Amino acid sequence: MNPNERKLEELMSKMTFDDKPDYRHRDKLEQELLAAFARRQWQQERQSRQNGVWRTIMQNKPMRLVAAAAVIAITGLVCVQFLTGTNAYAQVVQEIRNARTVVYTLITQTNQGNGETVKTDMAYKEPGHLRTTTIDGYTCIVDSTSGKMISIVPQGGYALGEINITKQTSAGGYLASIEAMKNLPAKADDKLGEKEIDGVDCDGYRVTQGDLTTTVWIDTKTGELVQVEQKYTSAPGMNRIIKNIKFDVELDDLLFSLTPPAGYQPFGVELKGDSAIQTEETFVNWLRWWANGNTDETFPPMVAGAEIAKVCMDMAKQGKLKASAWDKVDPSRMFNALLFVAKLPASSNWRYAGSGVKVNTPDTPIFWYRPAGSQMYRVIYADLTVREVAEDQLPK
Amino acid sequence: MSITELSGFAFEPDPMTQAKSDPGAFTRLYLRHYDAIFRYCAHRLFERTTAEDITSEVFLKMVENFQTFDGNEKQFRNWLYRIATNAVNEHMRKTARRSAILTWVQWGSSKAGVDEGAAADESQDKQAVIKKALLTLKPEEQAIVTMRFFENLKIEEIAEVVGTSAGTVRSQLSRAMEKLRKHISSAQIDGQEVTL
């Protein structure tokens, strides 16, 4: 290489460009691609290959355990809809009032040791369609106008479900979170200082509503909503962060279709919300099943939301799940047990204190709530007995 | 973490296969390659908005054909570069757009001269001359130069992107660089010849 050639290459190596990616474009394109991806995927005829995969899963005993864990994931995904920001978004942004669609990312962190965070992409479209997708590809679509849902597992399985709660009948249900967003309070309790989030200077506002404390961060320059943080008194350490919030994004109807993707196989169970078994008894049995199903014989770190699925996955990875228990899992019972908690209204003042508590530890309350119309609380203890207790006798 | 990663169970699809049926894996794949493809487009077109448009075009085209793609992630990256190269080349062939870019490069040069100091002026001017010279190359030649010097792709990788042999890429690169040197040498800044 002669000096002129070297000089030219040197000059070229120092060239500067306006080439810093703009992540607003990247994120917008991501939404378009996901819509296109869903369209393409659902057009594909991949029956034979997916059949093969599903057979592999169901014929292999360890894989049955994995499939059971997948059901937990599905249940958790459904439940997160009930709990996500019940009344929590109420203080967020006025513009959502008229929004036809909302998309956001929900990041939850468990209080389980160094538990990893769970990231879920959410999309809502009027008049009541909701789609959630975890980073692992677990998708849950709920149509509140019919009360039906579908959960799709990336390995090629799906489960149809009925939640028996429609937009019209839900009082404290999952769509209340969307409704709450549309009924924003005029004023926050506190104005916080400034904080930089992802390179954006934000003003913070805090609102406390019952069990929930919500902090809203708004871009100081544009006034746009940047981030929402939620903390629950009843679940210390379990935090939720909502970000990447966008309103009125074009969302293809196919994203909310309840038709199983071509080639996907049913789980063989229908997750049916059944009010008759969404009872304390079902919940106690679920707690028993959980405690007996892990090698530590402890209760779960929390009793709501997709975090359960995450914890479950962590435990499976650590070899803490007993295959004997997981082989006998009853997905429908599990589903309804979790719905029992998910549907308890804020006025029940429910609390969970069972994280890390070993089953049969004497005189240790792990869960309590006040049934509708009652002055007394129902308290579940670690030996799984239940007693009625006056409010002033509740654990502090 | 996917369910298949839980306990090291045997069923473990590779990331490319997984991305074909799993939107999460697909999104991760997209996010891993977005920056590189956007930068490549920006390096070819020198203009952000058009680069973003072409980047969108590239990924949407990718989705259309993704189910039939059969290769590993490195081949996937090269495939994206190939789609991007074709898209940019097609765009560049539109004479009107090309002349608009040339105008923009010249305008960028004169504006830099007003705002910056003398040393910066010279650097900006030289950069503008190089950018202008790059645009005089055939789109295929410009693609090779960009991939080699701005994206730091190896000759063999470029060969895979453009679908030819490494030897052919070497000759094309050599010819393109010679053209660039001639253009730059014949260019003038403020009546002075540009010296490398």
Instruction: Please write the tens of the pLDDT for every residue from A127-161.
Output: 778 887 776 667 788 887 777 878 777 666 777 77
Chain B CB contacts of A136 under 8 Å are 1-3, 22, 24-25
pLDDT at residue number A113: 41
Q: Hey, what are A30's tokens?
A: 């991501």
pLDDT at residue number A383: 96
- pLDDT (tens, 9 = 90+) of chain B, 196 residues, equals 233 333 333 233 577 888 887 777 888 899 999 999 999 999 999 889 999 999 999 999 999 888 888 888 999 999 999 999 999 998 888 755 556 555 555 544 444 433 445 555 566 777 888 888 888 898 999 999 999 999 999 999 999 999 999 999 999 999 999 999 888 887 755 555 555 5
Q: Give the span between the Cα atoms of B19 and A19, in whole angstroms.
A: 27
pLDDT at residue number A205: 83
pLDDT at residue number B59: 96
**CATH code matching the domain that covers B13-93, chosen among 1.20.1740.10, 3.40.640.10, 1.10.1740.10, 3.40.1360.10:** 1.10.1740.10
The model's pLDDT over A158-179, given as tens digits with 9 standing for 90+, comes to 777 776 544 433 333 344 444 4
pLDDT at residue number A52: 41
CATH of the domain at A115: 2.50.20.10
Number of neighbouring beta carbons within 10 Å of residue A367: 23
Domain that holds residue A330: 31-42+50-393
Q: Hey, what are A281's tokens?
A: 């008894």
> Same CATH fold, B114-196 and B13-93?
no
Write out the DSSP string of A334-353.
Answer: HHHHHHHHHT--GGG--EE-
B 171-190 → A contacts, CB under 8 A: 177, 180-181, 184
Q: Does domain B114-196 have CATH number 1.10.10.10?
A: yes
pLDDT at residue number A355: 80
Q: Do A33 and B28 touch (CB under 8 A)?
A: no
Burial of B51 (0-12, 13-18, 19+ CB in 10 A): buried
pLDDT at residue number A285: 92
Please give, rounded to a whole number of angstroms, the shortest distance from the CA of B72 to a CA of chain A: 19
Is residue A257, in this structure, part of any structural domain at all? yes
CA A138 to chain centre: 11
Chain B CB contacts of A4 under 8 Å are 181, 196
Give the residue ranges of chain A where pLDDT is below 70: 1-2, 39, 41-98, 108-119, 135-137, 154-156, 163-188, 209-212, 232-239, 267-271, 304-314, 316-317, 323, 325-329, 331, 346, 396
Secondary element (H or E) of residue A265: strand A265-266
| Spatial contact of B23 and A38, defined as CB atoms under 8 Å apart | yes
Is residue A350, in this structure, part of any structural domain at all? yes
What domain count does chain A have? 1
Q: Which of B22, B20, B2, B21 is nearest to B12 (CA)?
A: B2
Residue A58 sits at φ, ψ, to 5 deg, of -80, -20
Is residue A1, in this structure, part of any structural domain at all? no
Q: Give the span between the Cα atoms of A28 and B93, in whole angstroms.
A: 28
pLDDT at residue number A63: 42
B 3-62 → A contacts, CB under 8 A: 3-7, 9-11, 18, 21-28, 30-31, 34-35, 38-39, 42-43, 46-48, 51-52, 55-56, 59-60
**What is the complex's ipTM, to 2 decimals?**
0.82
Domain ranges across chain B: 13-93, 114-196
CA distances from B157 to A79, A322, B65, B84, B139 (A): 48, 49, 21, 15, 18
Please give, rounded to a whole number of angstroms, the shortest distance from the CA of A256 to a CA of chain B: 14
